[in-house]
Structure 1
């Protein structure tokens, strides 16, 4: 069972960045797209540049995250419970697990950047297709 969460846009609000060393934007699990992937090594991103990543989380991922974070709400680890109480056929991905994809964007597009803060607002739960 795969759960997909798409971070549609991540917009840079400040350009305080470390120097880039190299970029790698895709592998079998993650595909990062957008302006940030086009930066030359050593370039500093401009305010307003965007990137997005698509990744499918498995039930094993949400259960593993529950184990290390303590966020073991049944909505995240039990499909039957999610169906009964949230009208979702698959468990919901924990918000902080889906938010961790921001680190994927930064790590693959601006290696060496100091990732200091992030604000998140979810418009809908991340679930499977």
Structure 2
């Protein structure tokens, strides 16, 4: 799939038949304080380890950490927008949180096709999220029902969120 500026306006999926065992795709994102605050707002998870620096400095992590499920949400973003992309049905996910994610970390999500079930048209994906140092922060296995028909759809910008305390 091309990565030109024009193509960035479009999302194109990878169908079940196009997927191959061992095939993978990545998504990269740097975690900001605004991401953590917005995730707290939409999830309702206001744990002070994520939002209160004084409290977080006294924890075993010695500082504010991002929500573990923020990294999990990035896996979902990869599946829904790129690989396999539009039309994918997310059936299940097992996650293991390995190390904390801090504000400023650049996370790389990688999903790799582990298994294909030709009868049910389903796939199992190995998922790994690593930080900028190559250290795994999360790993897991996802079960998906990829699209069976090719789709190319115009990308829609996410709504902007204004955080007010």
TM-score, normalization by structure 2: 0.48
**1:14-38 CA distance string (max 9 Å, x none):** xxxxxxxxx57799xxxxxxxxxxx
The counterpart of 1:123, out of the listed 94, 98, 105, is 98
Partner of 2:30: 56
* Separation (CA, whole Å) in 2 of partners of 1:102 and 1:44: 20
Larger Rg: 2
Seen in structure 2, the aligned counterparts of structure 1 residues 77 and 49 have a Cα distance that, compared at 3 Å, is: same
User: Secondary structure at the residue paired with 2:89?
Assistant: coil
**1:6-64 CA distance string (max 9 Å, x none):** xxxxxxxxxxxxxxxxx57799xxxxxxxxxxxx9545312333333321121121112
Question: Offset at 1:66?
Answer: 1.2
2:69 is aligned with 1:96 = yes
* Greater per-residue strand proportion: 2
User: Secondary structure at the residue paired with 2:22?
Assistant: coil
User: Secondary structure at the residue paired with 1:100?
Assistant: helix
2:31 is aligned with 1:79 = no
**Is the 8 Å Cα contact of residues 24 and 109 (structure 1) preserved in structure 2?**
no
Question: Offset at 1:86?
Answer: 2.8
| TM superposition outliers: structure 1 runs of 4+ over 6 Å | 24-27
TM-score, normalization by structure 1: 0.59
RMSD: 2.9
**Is the 8 Å Cα contact of residues 25 and 108 (structure 1) preserved in structure 2?**
no
**1:88-127 CA distance string (max 9 Å, x none):** 33x2111111100112211223222212211110111111
* Greater per-residue helix proportion: 1
User: Secondary structure at the residue paired with 1:117?
Assistant: strand
